[in-house]
Structure 1
Amino acid sequence: MTRGAYDVPDAFDAGADAYDGLVSANPGYHDHLRLSAQRMQLPDEGRGLRLLDIGCGTGASTAALLEAAPHAEIIGVDGSAGMLEQARAKQWPDTVRFVHSRAEGLADAGVAGPFDGILAAYLVRNLSDPDPVLQTLRGLLRPGGVFAAHEYSVRDSAVARVTWNLVCAAIIIPSGKIRSGDAGLYRYLRTSVNDFDGATAFRERLQRNGFVDVRSETVSGWQRNIVHTFLAYAPR
């Protein structure tokens, strides 16, 4: 999960202690994660299912998956040891476990399929080369299994780009500096979102990497056309 010269897991290690407090101040952050997990339409409350939460961070996306599929086996994976430490300190049922690994090294970390569903929240944008990782994730899915990428994408909407940059300059970057003492991670966040695929381009990327039935939905409120759920499936 290294993007250029900026090592994202190392940056999250440094900001892990402040991360939960900062995202909790973001209206809709947890609701939107829960919405993406619900949009995966996991059957029967997850009974008999294996799910992967790739890029799980401090466990907010894991909690969203658990709420959508409380009876599933869930493996949360993240490249930041600091973020995983925060995740593991929370209360989880025995069906949830965490693995320290970058997205590029899942096999070496013993993370193996098949999975019935994979959630990647705020992950793909941070990958220096997303395509091999997307191909690996598709290969970890059962035939017909669902992949959901919960992600910021603003390139397709001028209003979204302006809103995103205003919110970053006025709120996210100053708040990040106050809470963590370093605004570097949050300046990176702003830039990485501006540089990431538009929603149309990312849907096309998923199709190029072998996923089928690709679609996306956004959220309501000021984050409309900023936060998206991208849904795609492994061929049957």
Structure 2
Amino acid sequence: MTLLRDRGLARAFDHASHTYDRLTALNPGYRTGLPRSARRLRLPRAGAGQRILGPGCGTDAATPALLRAAPHARITAVDASWRTLGRALATPWPSHVRFQHLTAGEAATAGEGPYDTVFAACLFRDVTDPDGVLTTVRSPLRPGKRLAVHEYSLSGPAAHRALRTAVCRGVAIPAGTLGGARALHRPLWRSVLGFDPAPDVTDRRERAGLTDVRIVPVAGWRTGIVHTFLARNGSAAPREHAR
């Protein structure tokens, strides 16, 4: 099966936006994992001057997680799916939260930087050039400031792959079929299985010029399947990477 990437994935989200949130709610731990990853940034809760970039923000999960972690920060949330953004905008937001219709590769052009934090959720495995997108979202990040990525990335053992497959085949794909989102959930399952294992994701961050790279697993049944990747923006230029 061909994986959905970039604009193709955005169109799939456009089609499935009306049911996507209800379907993800069936995933135990989905709504708790994102706030936990956001808290790991240790953002200053009173920091009204903080600027945060949220590429691939989705509908209503990643941005609220950031708001709970940093209630007064200025958040610029971007997504490539205009219908997904439309659903996000249907929710009342504080004036310091803004949404823009941009791809992850265009996130640096949002015009609200430089940023003190970048928080990306389930983004890099679904783009054609993850190294290029990482360089793009890093570019408006102030030196020494932190980036966090909440991502499905298997840590290695075959049991993690088998568990992820069982959940997708037993819950996500059948529910997506009933909800009219089969064309989205099956490629998302494939993208997790085909994405870099967690140690390789760390290596990508270091090649991009990030420092203090750490992997922290998400607790519960998703341990070894979902991780928070934390890093700081170093001063070195990105190293050449293999395609």
Shift in Å, 1:5: 9.0
Show CA shifts across 1:173-201 (max 9, x none). 0011112x241211101100000010000
Equivalences for 1:32-181 in 2 at 5 Å? 32-107=33-108, 109-154=109-154, 156-179=156-179, 181=180
Give yes or no for contact 1:112–1:140 (8 Å, CA) kept in 2. no
- 184-193 or 5-14: which moved more? 5-14
Give yes or no for contact 1:52–1:74 (8 Å, CA) kept in 2. yes
Q: Which runs of 5+ in 1 are unaligned?
A: none
1:223 aligns to what?
222
Alignment partners' CA distance in 1, 2:73 and 2:111:
16
Give yes or no for contact 2:79–2:85 (8 Å, CA) kept in 1. yes
Shift in Å, 1:161: 0.5
Relative to the length of structure 1, the TM-score reads: 0.94
Cα gap change, 1:70 to 1:182, in 2 (>3 Å): closer
Relative to the length of structure 2, the TM-score reads: 0.91
Alignment partners' CA distance in 1, 2:137 and 2:74:
17
Q: Which runs of 5+ in 2 are unaligned?
A: 236-243
Alignment partners' CA distance in 2, 1:6 and 1:54:
15
2:231 aligns to what?
232
SS at match of 2:37: helix
Give yes or no for contact 1:106–1:112 (8 Å, CA) kept in 2. no
In angstroms, what is the RMSD of aligned CA positions? 1.6
Letter aligned with residue 224 of structure 2: N
Shift in Å, 1:139: 1.3
Letter aligned with residue 87 of structure 1: A
Shift in Å, 1:59: 2.7
Shift in Å, 1:113: 2.0
Alignment partners' CA distance in 2, 1:152 and 1:30:
14
Show CA shifts across 1:97-132 (max 9, x none). 10000111235x543521010111010111100111
SS at match of 1:128: coil
Query: Is residue 198 of structure 1 aligned with residue 184 of structure 2?
Result: no
Runs of 4 or more consecutive aligned structure 1 residues displaced over 6 Å after TM superposition: none
SS at match of 2:94: coil
Show CA shifts across 1:150-187 (max 9, x none). 000115121110100011111110011112x2412111
1:183 aligns to what?
182
Give yes or no for contact 2:152–2:226 (8 Å, CA) kept in 1. yes
Alignment partners' CA distance in 1, 2:199 and 2:69:
27
Give yes or no for contact 1:212–1:232 (8 Å, CA) kept in 2. yes
Shift in Å, 1:44: 3.6
Give yes or no for contact 1:154–1:161 (8 Å, CA) kept in 2. yes
2:17 aligns to what?
16
